[in-house]
C-alpha cells in the first residue's frame, strides 16, 4: 500500500475555563442527583454515563485533510521498490511537479496477474470543489486541488480532537453557584437557623405551606426539609465526592463495558454442573449418592459421564442420562425424552444384580458403591466393544461417570437423611463491580428481583468472590429453596408457594434481605416472594448465623443446568417496608424468626410446618446422635443413654442391632462397642456382640468389660505372704513364686498343715492397682492334689488388710493339667488374696500356675507433659528429658536432666489437669554421682508455686544399688508434681526419668 496525504490546519479551539453556568441545566441537575459513593450508586452512575458519555472534547484543530491511498494485490512476488517507483510516477503525473507529500510503505508483492485500487478521502473545504478533486485522473487535477486548498478557510472542519474524562469537566469551583454570601441566608440548608431532629440527629429547616385537611380546607403547616450539607464548603466536598464516584464509574465502564444491572440473561451450564461439588466433596452412600440396592429398585437415577471425548451420539463427554433398572435390563434415556425399548441392555453381565454392573446405551460399567462412581473393568470394556465397534480409547480401570439422585435434596428429605450433607452450587457466576451490597451498614439491605427459569435460580452473596468459604448462596427451584453457607447447607424450605415456578416463561418476584450485626456478631438472612407492584411480600425463610459476620460486599446471580432470566434487580436500603411471616417463620418482636422445635437453635425443616427435634441446625441443650446420621435435640439425656465427655452428647457406645467393630459405628463410638453390663459384653472378629469364647477370647475379639486388659505377667516380687511352708527337695523350693512364673513344669507345694485344711492362701501385691476380670489355673493333673474350689479377695490397703470377696469358684476340673479360665467378676485393687478352699482328696494343693487377666488402673500421666527446673546447665540437661519415656541412667544416653550447682535445686512437671496420684517413681543417674539425689522431697498440688504444695511423705532417699525408687502417695490430688533436693549444701539435681502414676478413670472405654 502507498499513501499520500495533505493536512491543512487553519486554527485550534480550546475549551476555556468551565463554570457551573456554562453547563446545561439538565446536565447539572443530573450530576447533582448522583450518589457520593460508587458502591451505593453504581446503577445511577452507569445511567448517567450512558446518557452523557464518558469523555468530552477539550480542544479541536480545524482545517482540511486530503488522503490518497493506492493498493495493489498480486499472486506473484515483485520487489517493493518496483511498486514504489510506479506509485511515485503516478503521483508526479497528478501534480506535474513535486510537492510536499507524505508516503508510507510496507512490504508487499505483485505478479503479472495483479489488481490495483486507488481511494481518495477529503475532509473540509468546498464540497463542490472536493467532488471535482475526487476525479484525480483528469488533466486539471492540479488546478482543482489548488481551488480546494483555497476554500478550506471558508469551510473548515475539525481534523484532530483531544478528549478528557467527564470527571475533569466537572472539576470546578462550585461556590460560583451562589452569587452572594450564602451564609447570610435567612433560611435554607446554609442558614444558621437549622434545627436538629431528635433521635436521628439530622439537620432540617421548616417551610410554611398549605395542605388540605380532612374537611378539604387548606390549612397552613410547617414542612420539614432535611439538609445533607449545611455549608458551602461541605457542599463543595460533596460535589468532589460525586465527581470521584463518577471517575471510578468511568474506569469500571471502560473496563467492563455497560453491565446490565437490572435485566439480563444467564445461560445454563453443562449436565451435572450444579452437583459438581458432590463429585469432589463426596459423602455417604444413600445420602449424597445412591446405594446399589437403590439403583436396582426400579426408580429413576442420574448418570453423569465425565469422558475425555464422546463415545457415540448418545454418550458425549459430558452426557447426563436418566437410568432405570427394570426386567433385568438397564434403560438409559436423555432428560426430557421418552423411554424406548431399544435402549434397554443387559450385555456384559449387567442383568445379574450381584455383579454390580450397569449398561447405559450398551456401555458397560461397574458401580463402586463406596464412592458412587462407575469404573470400567477389562470384561466391561470387552463387552462394550461389541456394541461400539470403535471405542476412541481404552477405558480400562478408568472412572468414567458418577451416579446421583434426580434431586439429592428431595431424596434426603424423603428418606430422613441429614440434609446438611447435600451441596449444590451454581454452574456459573459472573461478578462485577456493579453488583455490590453492604449489609453491615445500619439497617438491612434487600435484593429485589424478578426471575424465571426452567431449572434452578442461584443468588450468591460473598465477601471474597473467589473464596467459596465466604459465600452465602440460595438455590431456588420448583422443588424447594436451600440456603448454603461456605458450600454447606444450613437451611431448607419446602413450602410450595416458596418455590420457583419451574418455567422459563413464567416470572415471579423474589427478595433476599441481609443484615450483618457487627455489634452482636450475627448475620440475619430473609428470603421471600415479593409483590408484583412493590417490594413487600411474604417471608418464607429466616436464617440467623451466630458466627462472626463474613463482611459481605458483592452479590450476583447464577444459573444451573438451565438458563435464567433476571429482571428489575435492585438493592433496597432499609429492607422491605411491609412483610408477612409465613412458611417456617413466625412474627416475634416485629420481625420474622424461625419457627422451630423448642430445643432447636435454628432448624432445617424437611417439610412445610414441620417442627421436629431432629431438624435442628443446632441444639440449645443436649443432642442424641442417630444411626441415620442426623441428631435429636433433647433437654436431658434419655433413659439408657449417658452424657459424653463433651458435655453435649447423649448416647451409647453400642448399637441396638448387636453389631460392633469398625464396620458398625455407634452414636458415641467408632468402632461400635458392646454393652459391658449386658449379657453380650464382647465383640467378635465378625462384628457381633456375644459372650462366648468366639466373642471374648479370640485374637480379634474385644472384651468391653475390660478394654486393654491382658493376661498379666506374674512376678515373684508379688508374693507378700502365704500359708504353710514351701516343700523343698533336691535343692528346689516349691514356693508360691512357682505358681506365678508362667512355667507349668513347676508347681507350688505348701506343707505343714493337716489333711482337709481349707485355707491355703497366697497374698499378692501387684505393685499398682489393677482391675481384674478373669483368673486362670493349671492343676497338677492328678486326683489327689488338684484344686476343685478357690476364692479371690481384694484389699484396697496393705497390711493390715481389709479383704473383700470378689469371686468364689467351686467347679474346677480335676485330673487335667490344662488351663482353666473363670470370669464373670470384676474387681480393682493393688492387694489380692488367692485361697484354695478344697482339693480333690483333701491334701495340700499342687498348683502349676495361676494367672490373672486385667489391666493396671494406674497410668503414667507425666510422660510427654511440660516440665521445668530451677536452673539450666550449658551442654544439655533440659527438664523435658525426665518425661521423655526413656529411663536410661547414663548421661551419654541424652535422657537425664541437670541443673546448676545450687541449694534446693528443683524440678517439676505440669500434668495439664489435676490427677489422683498413687505413686511417683524416680530413676536416678547410674554412671556416676547418684548420691546427689539424697535426700529429696516430693510436692504435689494445684499451685504452680511448687514448694507451697503439700509434701508426699517426708524426706526420701534412694538405694544407690537400685536404678529407681518408688514413693507411694496414696491418692494425693494435684496438677503439679515437684522434686526438690533437701539440705543446706549446693549440688545439682539430675533425674533420668520421673514417672507419676495416677488412677485410671475408666478401663471400659
pLDDT level of residue 768 (50, 70, 90 thresholds): confident
Q: Between 419 and 888, name the one with better pLDDT.
A: 888
Note the pLDDT of residue 149.
81
pTM above 0.75, yes or no: no
What's the rounded Cα separation, in Å, for the pair 8 and 124?
9
* pLDDT value for 729: 92
The span from the CA of 823 to the CA of 836, in Å, is 17
Q: How far apart are the first and last CA of the chain?
A: 92
pLDDT band at 106 (very low <50, low <70, confident <90, very high): very low
Residue 68 CA: distances (Å) to CA of 153, 196, 774: 21, 72, 113
Q: How far apart (Å, rounded) are the C-alpha atoms in residues 695 and 680?
A: 9
Nearest 5°: the CA angle 826, 830, 832 is 70
Q: Is the pLDDT of residue 180 over 70?
A: no
In this structure, the number of other CB atoms found within 10 A of the CB of residue 41 comes to: 19
Q: Is the dihedral of CA 163, 169, 171, 173 positive or negative?
A: positive
The answer to whether the beta carbons of residues 734 and 728 sit under 8 Å apart is yes
DSSP conformational letter for 337: S
In 108-263, at which residue ranges do the beta strands (DSSP E only) sit?
114-123, 157-165, 195-196, 203-212, 218-227
Above 90 in pLDDT, residue 577? no
Residue 786 pLDDT > 90, yes or no?
A: yes
Angle at 887 between CA 881 and CA 890, to 5 degrees: 85
Cross-strand pairs, 445: 514, 573
Radius of gyration over every alpha carbon of the chain, rounded to an integer in angstroms: 47
Q: Percent of the chain at pLDDT above 70? A: 86
Cα–Cα distance for residue pair 313/335, rounded to 1 Å: 15
Give the pLDDT confidence score for residue 285 in this predicted structure: 46
E strand or H helix at 168, and its extent? helix 166-169
| pLDDT > 50? residue 101 | no
- pLDDT tens, residue by residue, 255-308: 766 656 677 888 988 877 777 655 444 445 445 688 898 899 888 999 999 999
Other CB atoms within a 10 A radius of the CB of residue 336 amount to 7
Could you give the CA distance from residue 806 to residue 792 in angstroms, rounded to a whole number? 6
40 or 763: which carries more pLDDT confidence? Answer: 763
**pLDDT band with cut points at 50, 70 and 90 for residue 108:** very low
pLDDT band, residue 758 (cuts 50/70/90): very high
Question: Would you say 899 and 907 are in contact if contact means Cβ atoms under 8 Å apart?
Answer: yes
Q: Is 765 a residue whose pLDDT tops 80?
A: yes
Rounded to the nearest 10 degrees, what angle do helices 80-95 and 141-151 cross at? 70
pLDDT score recorded for residue 129:
65
Reported confidence tier of residue 699, pLDDT bands at 50, 70, 90: confident
Q: Quick one: pLDDT band at residue 179, thresholds 50, 70, 90?
A: low
What's the pLDDT at 32?
86
Cβ(898)–Cβ(873) under 8 Å? yes
Helix, coil or strand: residue 219? strand
**Helix (H/G/I), strand (E/B), else coil: 353:** helix
Average pLDDT over residues 506-515: 91
Set out the domains of the chain in order of their start, with CATH numbers.
1-179+229-258 (no CATH), 276-413 (no CATH), 424-583 (2.60.120.200), 710-856 (2.60.120.260), 860-999 (2.60.120.260)
| More confident call, 647 vs 608 | 647
H or E element at residue 471: strand 471-477
835 beta partners: 761, 791
Mean of the per-residue pLDDT values of the chain? 84
**pLDDT at 605 > cutoff 60:** yes
Taking the C-alpha atoms of residue 622 and residue 637, their distance in angstroms, rounded to an integer, is 7
> SS3 letters for 25-68?
HHHHHHHHCCCCCCCCCHHHHHHHHHHHCCEEEEEEEEEEEEEE
CA distances from 926 to 251, 380, 492, 874, 987 (A): 80, 70, 70, 21, 17
Phi, psi of 31 (to 5 degrees): -70, -40
Q: Is the pLDDT of residue 575 over 80?
A: no
pLDDT at 962 exceeding the cut of 70: yes
pLDDT at 459 over 70: yes
Quote the CA–CA distance of 883 and 994 in Å, as a whole number: 6
Kindly report which listed range (292-306, 545-559, 579-593, 916-930) carries the lowest average pLDDT score. Answer: 579-593
- Gap between the Cα atoms of 56 and 246, Å rounded: 14
Average pLDDT over residues 12-20: 79
Whether residue 667 has pLDDT greater than 80: no
User: For 592-601, what is the mean pLDDT?
Assistant: 86
Residue 411, pLDDT score: 64
Contact 997, 830 (CB under 8 A): no
What pLDDT score does 290 carry? 86
Q: What tens digit of pLDDT does each residue of 788-819 get?
A: 999 999 998 888 899 999 999 999 999 999 99
Residues for the chain: how many in total?
Answer: 1005
SS3 154: coil
Q: How many CA atoms lie within 13 A of 591 on its CB side?
A: 14
Report the pLDDT value the prediction gives residue 473, as an integer from 0 to 100: 93
Question: How far does Cα 665 stand from its chain's mean position?
Answer: 23
pLDDT tier, 1001 (very low <50, low <70, confident <90, very high otherwise): low
- 626 Cβ contact partners less than 8 Å away, ≥ 6 residues apart: 614, 632, 667
Contact call for residues 193 and 187 (beta carbons, < 8 A): yes
Predicted confidence band of residue 139 (pLDDT cuts 50, 70, 90): low
| CA-based torsion, 132, 135, 136, 141: positive or negative | negative
pLDDT confidence of residue 136: 55
Cα–Cα distance between 862 and 868 in angstroms, integer? 12
Say what the pLDDT of residue 102 is: 40
Amino acid at each position: 500500500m502507498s499513501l499520500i496525504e495533505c493536512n491543512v490546519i487553519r486554527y485550534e479551539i480550546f475549551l476555556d475555563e468551565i463554570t457551573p453556568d456554562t453547563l446545561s441545566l439538565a446536565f447539572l441537575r443530573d450530576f447533582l442527583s448522583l450518589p457520593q459513593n460508587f458502591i451505593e450508586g453504581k446503577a445511577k452512575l452507569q445511567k448517567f454515563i450512558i446518557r452523557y458519555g464518558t469523555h468530552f472534547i477539550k480542544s479541536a484543530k480545524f482545517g482540511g485533510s486530503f488522503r490518497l491511498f493506492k493498493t495493489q494485490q498480486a499472486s506473484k512476488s515483485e520487489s517493493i521498490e518496483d511498486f514504489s517507483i510506479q506509485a511515485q510516477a503516478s503521483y508526479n503525473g497528478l501534480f506535474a511537479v513535486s510537492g510536499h507529500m507524505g508516503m508510507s510503505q510496507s512490504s508487499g508483492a505483485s505478479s503479472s496477474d495483479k489488481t490495483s485500487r486507488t481511494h481518495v478521502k477529503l475532509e473540509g473545504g468546498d464540497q463542490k470543489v472536493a467532488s471535482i478533486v475526487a476525479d484525480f485522473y483528469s488533466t486539471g487535477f492540479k488546478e482543482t486541488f489548488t481551488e480546494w486548498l483555497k476554500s478550506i478557510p471558508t469551510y473548515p472542519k475539525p481534523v484532530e480532537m483531544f478528549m478528557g474524562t467527564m470527571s475533569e469537566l466537572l472539576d470546578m469551583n462550585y461556590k460560583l453557584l451562589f452569587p452572594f454570601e450564602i451564609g447570610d441566608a435567612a433560611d435554607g440548608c446554609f442558614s444558621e437557623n437549622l434545627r436538629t431532629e431528635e433521635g436521628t440527629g439530622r439537620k432540617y429547616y421548616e417551610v410554611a405551606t398549605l395542605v388540605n385537611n380532612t374537611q378539604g380546607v387548606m390549612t397552613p403547616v410547617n414542612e420539614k426539609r432535611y439538609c445533607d450539607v449545611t455549608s458551602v464548603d461541605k457542599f463543595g466536598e460533596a460535589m468532589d465526592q460525586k465527581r470521584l464516584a463518577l471517575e471510578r464509574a468511568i474506569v469500571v465502564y471502560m473496563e467492563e463495558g455497560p453491565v446490565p444491572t437490572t435485566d439480563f440473561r444467564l445461560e445454563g451450564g453443562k449436565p451435572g454442573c450444579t452437583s459438581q461439588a458432590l463429585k469432589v466433596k463426596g459423602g455417604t452412600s444413600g445420602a449424597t449418592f445412591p446405594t446399589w440396592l437403590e439403583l436396582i429398585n426400579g426408580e429413576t437415577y442420574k448418570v453423569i459421564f465425565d469422558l475425555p471425548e464422546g463415545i457415540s451420539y448418545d454418550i458425549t463427554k459430558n452426557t447426563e442420562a436418566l437410568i432405570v433398572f427394570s426386567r433385568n435390563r438397564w434403560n438409559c434415556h436423555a432428560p426430557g425424552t421418552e423411554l424406548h425399548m431399544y435402549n434397554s441392555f443387559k450385555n456384559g453381565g449387567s442383568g445379574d444384580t450381584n455383579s454390580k454392573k450397569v449398561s447405559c446405551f450398551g456401555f458397560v460399567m461397574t458401580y463402586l458403591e463406596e464412592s458412587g462412581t462407575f469404573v470400567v473393568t477389562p470384561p466391561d470394556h470387552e463387552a462394550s466393544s461389541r456394541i461400539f465397534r470403535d471405542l476412541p480409547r481404552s477405558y480400562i480401570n478408568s472412572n468414567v461417570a458418577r451416579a446421583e439422585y434426580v434431586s439429592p435434596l428431595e431424596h434426603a428429605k424423603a428418606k430422613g437423611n441429614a440434609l446438611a450433607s447435600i451441596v449444590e452450587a451454581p454452574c456459573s457466576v459472573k461478578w462485577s463491580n456493579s453488583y455490590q451490597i453492604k449489609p453491615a451498614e445500619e439497617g438491612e439491605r434487600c435484593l429485589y428481583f424478578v426471575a424465571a427459569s426452567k431449572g434452578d435460580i442461584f443468588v450468591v452473596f460473598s465477601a471474597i468472590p473467589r473464596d467459596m468459604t465466604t459465600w452465602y448462596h440460595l438455590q431456588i427451584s420448583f422443588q424447594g429453596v436451600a440456603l448454603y453457607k461456605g458450600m454447606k447447607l444450613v437451611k431448607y424450605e419446602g413450602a410450595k408457594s416458596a418455590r420457583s415456578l419451574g418455567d422459563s416463561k413464567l416470572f415471579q418476584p423474589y427478595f433476599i434481605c441481609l443484615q450483618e450485626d457487627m455489634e452482636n456478631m450475627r448475620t440475619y438472612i430473609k428470603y421471600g416472594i415479593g409483590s408484583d407492584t412493590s417490594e413487600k411480600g411474604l417471608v418464607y425463610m429466616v436464617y440467623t448465623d451466630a458466627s462472626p459476620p463474613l463482611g459481605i460486599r458483592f452479590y450476583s446471580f447464577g444459573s444451573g443446568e438451565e438458563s435464567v432470566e433476571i429482571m428489575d434487580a435492585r438493592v433496597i436500603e432499609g429492607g422491605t417496608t411491609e412483610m408477612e411471616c409465613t412458611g417456617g417463620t413466625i412474627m416475634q418482636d416485629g420481625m420474622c424468626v424461625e419457627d422451630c422445635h423448642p430445643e432447636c437453635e435454628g432448624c432445617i425443616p424437611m417439610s412445610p410446618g414441620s417442627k421436629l427435634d431432629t431438624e435442628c441446625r443446632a441444639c440449645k441443650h443436649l443432642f442424641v446422635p442417630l444411626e441415620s446420621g442426623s441428631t435429636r435435640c433433647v433437654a436431658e439425656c434419655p433413659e439408657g443413654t449417658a452424657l459424653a465427655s463433651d458435655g453435649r452428647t447423649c448416647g451409647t457406645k453400642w448399637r441396638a442391632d448387636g453389631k460392633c467393630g469398625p464396620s458398625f459405628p455407634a452414636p458415641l463410638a467408632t468402632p461400635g462397642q458392646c454393652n459391658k453390663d449386658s449379657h453380650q459384653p464382647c465383640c467378635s472378629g465378625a462384628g457381633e456382640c456375644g459372650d462366648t469364647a468366639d466373642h471374648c477370647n479370640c485374637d480379634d475379639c474385644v472384651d468391653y468389660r475390660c478394654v486393654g486388659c491382658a493376661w498379666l505377667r506374674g512376678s515373684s516380687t508379688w508374693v507378700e505372704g502365704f500359708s504353710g511352708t514351701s516343700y523343698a527337695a533336691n535343692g528346689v523350693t516349691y514356693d508360691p513364686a512357682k505358681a506365678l512364673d508362667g512355667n507349668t513344669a513347676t508347681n507350688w507345694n505348701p506343707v505343714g498343715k493337716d489333711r482337709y485344711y481349707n485355707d491355703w492362701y497366697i497374698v499378692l501385691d501387684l505393685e499398682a492397682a489393677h482391675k481384674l476380670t478373669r483368673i486362670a489355673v493349671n492343676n497338677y493333673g492328678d486326683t489327689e492334689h488338684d484344686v476343685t474350689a478357690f476364692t479371690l479377695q481384694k484389699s484396697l490397703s496393705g497390711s493390715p488388710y481389709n479383704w473383700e470377696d470378689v469371686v468364689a469358684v467351686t467347679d474346677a476340673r480335676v485330673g487335667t493339667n490344662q488351663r482353666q479360665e473363670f470370669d464373670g467378676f470384676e474387681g480393682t485393687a493393688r492387694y489380692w488374696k488367692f485361697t484354695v478352699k478344697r482339693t480333690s482328696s483333701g491334701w495340700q494343693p499342687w498348683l502349676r500356675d495361676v494367672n490373672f487377666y486385667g489391666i493396671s488402673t494406674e497410668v503414667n500421666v507425666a510422660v510427654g507433659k511440660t516440665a521445668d527446673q530451677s536452673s539450666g546447665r550449658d551442654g544439655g540437661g533440659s527438664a523435658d528429658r525426665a518425661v521423655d519415656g526413656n529411663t536410661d541412667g547414663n548421661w551419654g544416653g541424652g535422657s537425664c536432666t541437670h541443673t546448676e550447682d545450687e541449694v534446693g535445686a528443683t524440678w517439676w512437671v505440669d500434668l495439664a489437669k489435676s490427677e489422683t496420684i498413687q505413686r511417683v517413681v524416680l530413676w536416678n543417674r547410674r554412671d556416676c554421682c547418684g548420691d546427689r539425689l539424697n535426700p529429696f522431697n516430693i510436692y504435689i498440688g494445684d499451685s504452680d508455686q511448687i514448694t507451697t504444695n503439700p509434701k508426699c511423705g517426708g524426706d526420701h532417699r534412694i538405694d544407690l544399688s537400685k536404678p529407681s525408687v518408688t514413693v507411694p502417695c496414696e491418692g494425693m490430688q494435684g496438677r503439679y508434681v515437684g522434686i526438690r533436693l533437701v539440705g543446706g549444701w549446693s549440688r545439682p539435681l539430675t533425674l533420668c526419668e520421673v514417672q507419676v502414676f495416677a488412677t485410671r478413670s475408666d478401663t471400659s472405654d
